[in-house]
Amino acid sequence: MNNKIISIYFVLSFFISLSLIIFFYGNLNDYYLAVSKYGDNDNYFQLVDNFLKWDFSVFVYHPFGISILIAVLNFTTKIDPIFLMILINVFFAYFSIIIISKLFGNLTSIFFLILGYEFTLVSLMGGSEISAIFFILLSLFLYESKFKKTAFLTSSFVYFIKPWAIALPIGIGIILLFKKEKKILIEFLIISILMFCFYLIISYIIYGPGLIFEGYKSNDALIRGEKFFIDFPFVALLKEIIGPNSINGLSTLTLPITNLIKIFFYIIIISFGYFCMLRNFSLYFRDDIYKIIFIFSSLQIFLIFTYNSPWIFHEFPRYSIMILPFIIFSLKKYLPTNKTIILALIILSATFNAFSAVGYKNYINFIVNTFF
């Protein structure tokens, strides 16, 4: 397979998903309205408005990186922010797939497209995960291509979008610390520290002295009765499965069976993939790029399984999406290579993503009411 084939699979996957989503909503206007209300998008668009007016009296607790991108593009092009979010995500999604193929091979790229449930869904319905993935992959590609200063800049921007992604510049810094290239280490520290200071300044402007953490607490993002974001590994996850202990009123037993299958599927995939990483530990420490990937993935795994929030179970696919390309790479020897199987999986995956965007029961009821 070459980039042309990957592009065809990408277009096919997104065309199927988008067609089914628009078919459900009936027209583009209703689709845009659905995007504006999907997930946390209202928070991102409120932040866009705050940046454009430079008025942060309306408090929004979400990370601001994707909102900065949309605000800058809206200011320069006057294109509607909702359309810009979709445009940015699809653009970043395509080039993420291409970068994965360059770094890890075509098979890993294709199966990220197949298994990346949140990847396709967020691309078409809006969110910040795709931007985070893109800048993570772009940083790795730039680092591998010897554009290290630019890689330091882009890797530092990732946590503007997803704060947990600060694990990426930390991984780069750890690798450089043990190398003898003092000049590069100093350049990294200067760029990273300046970017972090810039992040803190914007955070203070938006959130005040408590930064983003106060926003999460006021939004009841933690397990009931808890005050800290970190707990012992798997504790929050198990509490939510057995409990639930969520003050958001979430209940494991009342979730649709499709949601439960999806969640546990990703828990198994991520756990087994990281186990394969650990088993091939020595292979990951031959080249700098793989060392960074291993450190980044390890830090992300630690944060995922110790995050003291009920959402860590209910939104597990979303939280794990940033390391999914690396997990799939670690599983590459288990992936089928038959083109017929891959094509069938692309179609099934795209259909699943579209149905997930509006809910399986909603889509089935819609089809029944439309055709029968």
Q: Residue 3: pLDDT band by 50, 70, 90 thresholds?
A: confident
- Pairwise pLDDT comparison (226 vs 283), residue with the higher score: 283
pLDDT by residue (tens digit) across 29-56?
Answer: 888 888 988 888 998 999 999 999 999 8
The answer to whether residue 68 scores a pLDDT higher than 90 is yes
pLDDT by residue (tens digit) across 276-290?
Answer: 988 887 777 778 888
Beta-carbon contacts of residue 356 (< 8 Å; ≥ 6 apart):
117, 121, 258, 262
Q: Is pTM beyond 0.85 here?
A: yes
**In this predicted structure, what is the pLDDT of residue 150?**
96
Per the document, the length of the chain is 372
What residue ranges do the domains of the chain occupy? 221-335
Query: Residue range 90-105: average pLDDT?
Result: 93
CA distance 171 to 296: 6
The answer to whether residue 224 scores a pLDDT higher than 80 is no
Closest CA to 202 of 62, 42, 45: 62
**In this predicted structure, what is the pLDDT of residue 101?**
94
CA distance 94 to 1: 16
Query: Residue range 161-190: average pLDDT?
Result: 91
Beta-carbon contacts of residue 104 (< 8 Å; ≥ 6 apart):
325, 329, 332
Task: Output the average pLDDT for the chain.
Answer: 86
- Pairwise pLDDT comparison (27 vs 107), residue with the higher score: 107
pLDDT by residue (tens digit) across 71-86?
Answer: 999 999 999 999 999 9
Q: What is the number of other CB atoms lying within 10 angstroms of the CB of residue 120?
A: 28
- Pairwise pLDDT comparison (300 vs 227), residue with the higher score: 300
| Phi-psi category of residue 39: left, alpha or beta, with phi > 0 → left and psi -120 to 50 → alpha | left
Q: Residue 228: pLDDT band by 50, 70, 90 thresholds?
A: low
- Pairwise pLDDT comparison (125 vs 244), residue with the higher score: 125
The answer to whether residue 254 scores a pLDDT higher than 90 is no
